Amino acid sequence: MQLIMSPASPFVRRVRVTIREVGITDLVEEVPVTTTPLASAPEAAAANPSGKIPSLLREDGPAIHDSRVICRYLNAVADARLYPESRIWEVLTLEATGDALMEAAVSMVYEARFKGTEGASADWIAAQWVKVVRILGALESRWMSHLMGPVDAGQIAVASGLEYIDFRLPDRDWRVLAPALAGWLETFAQRPSMQATRPG
């Protein structure tokens, strides 16, 4: 299998972490591409009509895309336990929360990067940060016991989103807003899968 990817993307990172957590690095070749929302890499567009990354090319079927779909597929291939049936709805909800965190942060970065300082909407960026703050509050108040449990897909998504904020929005001190979450990430970030996939 081949993963069409760019290491800076938090959506890609959660897939790369998953590959390592389920122990199938020998089955997936990572294929880096240079792509942007304004100019999709040919490899990305060929695998996914939206041109987004990541996409997973398979030998026994068509390419699959959307990081959540890929992670669920890789978990099945490895017969792993990142989506335990005993708490599947909590895992999927936490995974979706991590995705929302990534989407808001990426939107902030793109608004500034592709519209430039004068063209970027301060209101748009502020609105995305409000979403981030709400998500941080929910994670801090409702999800800490789950985050402290066995590793699952939801935890990987949240960690990937938080470290993307650190990577691309370093001036946003989210740890002040969510000290318990910050403590959790400090520990989770030491996992070999996280260390091996850190961008930059």
What six digits make up the tokens of 102?
Answer: 């990534």
Backbone angles phi, psi at 24, to 5 degrees: -125, 35
Instruction: State whether 7 and 38 are in the same domain.
Output: yes
Name the residue range of residue 55's domain.
2-77
Residue that finishes a domain, picked among 47, 77, 107: 77
Residue that finishes a domain, picked among 12, 47, 77: 77
What CATH number has the domain bearing residue 19? 3.40.30.10
**Residue 56, SS3?**
strand
Domains contained in the chain, number = 2
Residue 72 lies in a domain: yes
Residue 148 lies in a domain: yes
Residue 198 lies in a domain: no
Instruction: State whether 73 and 95 are in the same domain.
Output: no
Residue 200 lies in a domain: no
Q: Which residues pair with 4 in a beta bridge?
A: 31, 55
**CA of residue 158 relative to chain centroid, distance:** 7
What CATH number has the domain bearing residue 143? 1.20.1050.10
Q: Which pLDDT tens digits describe the chain residue by residue (200 residues)?
A: 999 999 999 999 999 999 999 999 999 999 999 988 888 889 998 999 999 999 999 999 999 999 999 999 999 999 999 999 999 999 999 999 999 999 999 999 988 777 766 666 888 889 999 999 999 999 999 999 999 999 999 999 999 999 999 999 999 999 999 999 999 999 999 999 999 999 97
